[in-house]
Structure 1
Amino acid sequence: MIQAQSVSYEQDGIDGEDHAAKWQRVRKALQSDLGQAFAYYIQDLGLIGLDGARVTLAAPTAFVRRHVMNAYGDALRRAWTAELARVAEVEIVVDASACGKREDTPAAPAPIAAVPANVGDPGQWDAGFGLSLNERYTFENFVVGKPNEFAYNAARTFAEEERPNFNPLFLHGISGVGKTHLMHAIGWEMRKRWPARRVLFLSSERFMQSFIRAIRQKDTLPFKDILRSADVLMIDDIHFLGGKDSTQEEFFHTFNALIESGKLLVFTADRPPVDLDGVGERVKSRLQWGLVADIHPADFELRLGILQSKAEKLSLHYNGMEIPARVLTFLAQKIISNVRVLEGSLQRLVANAALTRRPVTLELAQEVLADILRASDRKILIEDIQKKVAEFYNIRQADLISPRRSRNVARPRQVAMFLAKKLTTRSLPEIGRKFGGRDHTTVIYAVRKIDDLAKIDASLNEELTVLQRLIEG
């Protein structure tokens, strides 16, 4: 930390009380000009002294100093010159002990209720670094069922306890099961209970882009300062850090710094930490320090509950439009891919009915959602692939997941893995688990092996074509 030297108030013949009075008038002028930004940056600055044409101020941290100089340096200079014409330079040093107290100035205007004062808002403590929370994603709007009950309770506990007994919280599940919803809900609940908490919400993409930009600009300190200034750091889709070694290195040090400081961490991914491809072991181990909560795909009861909740809101929006229960049941039975597709389908159906002035019926649903229903009907499970492959090669389905390595079993197993990778959206680790808990590297080898052989072996290529047709029906 740069230590500031005190400057005597007698240097220009004006007593200390006059200096303080001038600083208060400058602060009031800046508060009027800068609005909400004043409360987050200028208000904590302290006056060290006046020396001829130079004013020296103190900032509590290096990050605040850099940000104020870059964003508000001209405004500070103008305000001081208006107060004292001979001021030509404003210098800021880092000295927390010399910073002003918040109670010395009028309270900042209250933020608009819809915009959280500490989350991803430009001009606030994170300088627009974070992403805004979605106001629709709250605990009150989250439909709970058996597949997500454990993750929901974990998230709620983490958000409601001032010092939860597990940290970090790691939520995982396939796309569209509610991971991001719960993460946003945690942020909103913390904002409500502890308004002063600095909650930083990021996507892994934003984390990587910001880090790369900082490296290119050869100035990583602001990036590190913002991350380490957070009281709660939430990173969505952290599996995208796989294979990004330098970004993982920075994440590793950020994680350690925040944990050691007693800060809270929340992460989401499409798989548990142990299965994160391309992520170093020391990062994986830290992600498992707290609580790992799985969110399973929605079952029929949960899908129906989600549709009923959505239907109530849509009915109000469209002036009491009737949405029959049998239509909701039909959609819950047919659309099983993920919750986003499910909710989007109902939204699309109701909007179409409103615009064409037709009632919501099963017939209209089948007409309007024909493409989605066809896609849902084609959903293929790894178990379906294993069954068809076993029948085709005249072996038992259990052989495909057994440790047996004889040629008459190994080749069909490789074919089944290849088709699972091609015809499903399952990750390599998930495919490996479906084949007797094999490692994802085994799946990679099988996929590459069959892909290479199919290019030179016409018989194998024909077998793959036939199998694909059988599986797809």
Structure 2
Amino acid sequence: MAHSAGAGDALDAQWQRVRARLRVSFGDAAFNSWLKPVVLADEGLAQDGDVHLAVPTRFMRDWVANHYSERLREIWRLENASVRRVVIHVRPTGATQPPQAKVAPLGDSLPVAGRPPMADRMAAAGLQVREMDDVERELSAPLDPRFTFDSFITGKSNELARAAALRVAESPTVTYNPLFLYGGVGLGKTHLMHAIGWHIRQRFPERRVVYLSAEKFMYQFIRALRFKDTMAFKEQFRSVDVLMIDDIQFIAGKESTQEEFFHTFNALCDQNRQIIVSGDRSPSDLEGIEERMRSRLGWGLVADIHPTDFELRLSILQAKAEKNGLSNIPQEVLEFLARRITSNVRELEGALNRISAYASLVGKPVTVTSAQEVLQDLLRANDRKVTIEEIQKRVAEHYSIRFADMHSPRRARAVARPRQVAMYLAKQLTSRSLPEIGRKFGGRDHTTVMHAVRKIEELREIDAAFAEDIDLLRRKLEG
């Protein structure tokens, strides 16, 4: 041993004072990110004047050595004049099992009432993955163990997106870069991203996987700017093997964040690292995103998730009822829910949970009538909830024009007429005022909307085929 027990106690006390000075010198943010994990190594202070420290990863050792070693040595010498230099080792913490044998806590160590801890939920889902390293733990949001490929119900509306996600997750090399998933709220984008993360962590445990929302990416960047630590931010994000960014539309209009994401994107692509992005619309239709960024996002494979049809909604309900042991819910009730709740899968599953809780708490059998009573607010919302964006998207698809043409200044008849149809349907199917509708169509005046409504009404009167076309669009939007 390099020192006796008494000398060791003195060295421990010196190390605690060194840590306190480091926190004062570099601030809480840098200390917590890079210096807090540093520990005094078993070798302690050797006779040659080398003080030995340890960190859990090679990346952290390199960062601490490059950015803090000189200050570390200076502070140590203030505490102990015999210190000649600081030596940093890589010593993974915890048991000596291979990485893939460990189960990650994934940021869910605090118990939640009525809910098993994350490790138990992972075990129940059959997920055994290595523990996250420091960069993953610092950057990544937790992955939900319920969201795997096995639990994703596939139908015509989402089969391409699932197949593309599985291909990316199973491939040892980068196949599509980036993979861009898009669709409306609650249709399964986040589920597929979590499934990709779990699959890669199981199949390729050596790959560093980071999943986070675009909002969190922005806040991480703002924090780095605030604490003048942008180099650490860049190094962290550019050291990952798989970067997954959810809800990219959040950074629309945020120029500095887009700039940083653009450079991170390019750096990872240059290193042949996988990027997966999700959004609420296709890259070409993202508003407030720079053209060069939209171009990059469309480089790889773009896969959309369409609204669910009746058969897929019923399959999802049946699978969830079977998994949760809800045999007390009759088939006709499941069919009723699948017909009436068309907005998104989250609301559909929430409705099933509500009527299941009703049956359990009240002790009455579940019927279509009781389901209508329990879910009357949700059913009302689904009956009336048609958004202008949905109208624009459906009309654009119907007339084979771009979604962006709904907002563009183009006046060509092939574009202007579908735009007028969308304005007319927005007036008929939503409660929005004429000025509000005009703003949704590229900031147009309310008189433009009035003109469009009158024009479509006139055409309906004189052209039966056109009227039938409008009625078809209306039925699709309503049901």
TM range (shorter): 0.5 to 0.7
Confirm whether residue 443 of structure 1 aligns to residue 441 of structure 2.
yes
2:424 aligned partner: 416
1:111 aligned partner: 102
Structure 1 residues 414 and 349: CA distance shift in structure 2, 3 A: closer
Distance 1:48 1:282 in 2: 52
Gaps of 5+ in 2: 13-32, 105-118, 123-127, 393-405, 458-473
1:367 aligned partner: 373
Structure 1 residues 153 and 341: CA distance shift in structure 2, 3 A: same
Secondary structure of 2:303's match? strand
Letter in 1 for 2:446: I
Deviations, residues 319-357 of structure 1 (Å, cap 9, x unaligned) = xx4211111011101110111001110111111111111
The structure 1 residue matched to 2:218, chosen from 200, 203, 208, is: 208
Gaps of 5+ in 1: 1-17, 30-36, 387-399, 432-439, 455-459, 464-470
Letter in 1 for 2:335: T
Distance 2:51 2:129 in 1: 30
Structure 1 residues 412 and 289: CA distance shift in structure 2, 3 A: closer
The structure 1 residue matched to 2:169, chosen from 159, 178, 196, is: 159
Distance 2:164 2:86 in 1: 44
Structure 1 residues 154 and 285: CA distance shift in structure 2, 3 A: same
The structure 2 residue matched to 1:334, chosen from 325, 331, 340, is: 340
Give the C-alpha shift of residue 50 in structure 1: 5.5
Deviations, residues 365-397 of structure 1 (Å, cap 9, x unaligned) = 0110011111122233769989xxxxxxxxxxx
Distance 1:213 1:102 in 2: 28
If the length of structure 2 is used for normalisation, what is the TM-score?
A: 0.66
1:389 aligned partner: none
Confirm whether residue 55 of structure 1 aligns to residue 51 of structure 2.
yes
Confirm whether residue 348 of structure 1 aligns to residue 354 of structure 2.
yes
Secondary structure of 2:299's match? coil
Give the C-alpha shift of residue 57 in structure 1: 6.0
1:262 aligned partner: 272
Contact 1:65-1:92 at 8 Å conserved across structures: no
Structure 1 residues 144 and 89: CA distance shift in structure 2, 3 A: farther
Deviations, residues 26-56 of structure 1 (Å, cap 9, x unaligned) = 9xx9xxxxxxx99x9769x999995865526
Confirm whether residue 225 of structure 1 aligns to residue 235 of structure 2.
yes
Give the C-alpha shift of residue 216 in structure 1: 1.3
Secondary structure of 1:125's match? helix
Which shifted more, 127-136 or 169-178? 127-136
2:470 aligned partner: none
Structure 1 residues 247 and 351: CA distance shift in structure 2, 3 A: same
Letter in 2 for 1:112: V
Contact 1:175-1:338 at 8 Å conserved across structures: yes
Structure 1 residues 385 and 274: CA distance shift in structure 2, 3 A: closer
Letter in 1 for 2:443: Y
Distance 1:51 1:247 in 2: 50
Structure 1 residues 233 and 382: CA distance shift in structure 2, 3 A: closer
Q: Within 5 Å, give how 1:94-133 maps onto structure 2.
A: 106-107=96-97, 110-112=101-103, 114=119, 124-133=134-143
Give the C-alpha shift of residue 197 in structure 1: 1.3
1:284 aligned partner: 294
Letter in 2 for 1:416: Y
Q: Within 5 Å, give how 1:57-96 maps onto structure 2.
A: 60-61=58-59, 65-66=63-64
Structure 1 residues 118 and 363: CA distance shift in structure 2, 3 A: same
Structure 1 residues 361 and 288: CA distance shift in structure 2, 3 A: same
2:471 aligned partner: none
Contact 1:118-1:198 at 8 Å conserved across structures: no
Give the C-alpha shift of residue 89 in structure 1: 6.1
Contact 2:2-2:47 at 8 Å conserved across structures: no
Distance 2:85 2:379 in 1: 65
Contact 2:141-2:211 at 8 Å conserved across structures: yes
Structure 1 residues 91 and 46: CA distance shift in structure 2, 3 A: farther
Structure 1 residues 349 and 211: CA distance shift in structure 2, 3 A: same
Give the C-alpha shift of residue 165 in structure 1: 2.1
1:192 aligned partner: 202
Distance 2:154 2:305 in 1: 11
Distance 1:326 1:442 in 2: 39
Give the C-alpha shift of residue 126 in structure 1: 3.2
Give the C-alpha shift of residue 111 in structure 1: 2.8
Secondary structure of 2:134's match? coil
Contact 1:191-1:197 at 8 Å conserved across structures: yes
Letter in 2 for 1:294: D
Deviations, residues 395-434 of structure 1 (Å, cap 9, x unaligned) = xxxxx999449x9x8996695387489658xxx9xx9xxx
Distance 1:118 1:359 in 2: 45
Letter in 1 for 2:442: I
Letter in 2 for 1:444: G
Distance 2:186 2:268 in 1: 29
Give the C-alpha shift of residue 269 in structure 1: 0.2
Confirm whether residue 379 of structure 1 aligns to residue 385 of structure 2.
yes
Distance 1:51 1:410 in 2: 83
Give the C-alpha shift of residue 127 in structure 1: 4.3
Distance 1:46 1:225 in 2: 29
The structure 2 residue matched to 1:134, chosen from 141, 144, 153, is: 144
Distance 1:141 1:218 in 2: 43
1:240 aligned partner: 250
1:392 aligned partner: none
Letter in 2 for 1:196: E
Give the C-alpha shift of residue 117 in structure 1: 6.0
If the length of structure 1 is used for normalisation, what is the TM-score?
A: 0.67
Distance 1:452 1:63 in 2: 63
Which shifted more, 414-423 or 160-169? 414-423
Distance 2:259 2:208 in 1: 24
Deviations, residues 439-473 of structure 1 (Å, cap 9, x unaligned) = x9992232xx118999xxxxx9xx9xxxxxxx999
Distance 1:372 1:378 in 2: 10
